[in-house]
Homo-oligomer: A and B are copies of this chain.
Amino acid sequence: MLKLPQRLLLGPGPSPVPQRVLDALATPTIGHLDPAFLALMDTIRSQLRQVFQTNNEMTLAVSGTGSAGMETVFVNLIEPGDKVLVCVNGVFGQRMADVAARCGAQVHTFEAHWGTVFEQESIIDAAERIRPRAVAIVHAETSTGAHQPVDKLGAALHELGALFLLDCVTSLAGAPVQIDQWQVDAAYSGTQKCLSCPPGLSPVTLSPRAVQRLEQRSQKVQSWYLDLSMVRQYWGAERFYHHTAPINMLYGLHEALSMALEEGLEQRFARHRAAHRHLRAALAEIGITYVSQEGFHLPMLNAVKIPDGIDDLAVRKRLLDEFDIEIGGGLGAFKSKAWRIGLMGHGATIQNADTVVKALTKIVK
Q: Tell me the A residues contacting B by CB distance below 8 Å.
A: 1-2, 4-7, 9, 11, 13-14, 16-17, 20, 22-32, 34-37, 40, 63-68, 70-71, 95, 98-99, 101-103, 190, 192, 198-200, 220-225, 241-249, 251-252, 254-255, 320, 326, 331
Contact = CB atoms under 8 A, between A and B. Distances in A.
Given A4-B251, A63-B200, 13 more contacts: A2-B255, A4-B30, A4-B36, A5-B34, A7-B34, A22-B29, A29-B192, A30-B326, A71-B225, A102-B220, A102-B223, A199-B247, A200-B247
A13 B34 CA distance: 12
Contacts of A224: 67, 70-71, 95, 98-99, 102
Contact of A249 (B101, B200, B220, B242): B200
Contact of A1 (B24, B34, B241): B24
Q: What's the number of copies of this chain in the assembled complex?
A: 2
Nearest to A219: B102
Contact of A65 (B11, B63, B199): B63
Contact of A244 (B27, B35, B192, B254): B192
A326 to B, nearest CB: 5
A200 B200 contact: yes
5 contacts: A14-B32, A31-B326, A66-B244, A102-B222, A200-B249
Q: By CB atoms of chain B within 10 A, which of A5, A71, A224 has the most?
A: A224
A326 B253 CA distance: 24
Contacts of A247: 14, 192, 198-200
Contacts of A28: 4, 6-7, 17, 22
Contacts of A220: 101-102
A28 B9 CA distance: 10
A189 B225 CA distance: 15
A6 to B, nearest CB: 6
Given A7-B34, A71-B224, A248 B66 contact: no
Given A4-B36, A32-B199, A99-B224, A243 B65 contact: yes
Contacts of A68: 63-64, 225, 243
Contacts of A200: 63, 200, 246-249
Given A29-B17, A98-B224, A225-B71, A65 B246 contact: yes
A67 B246 contact: no
B29 A244 contact: no
A137 to B, nearest CB: 18
B2 A225 contact: no
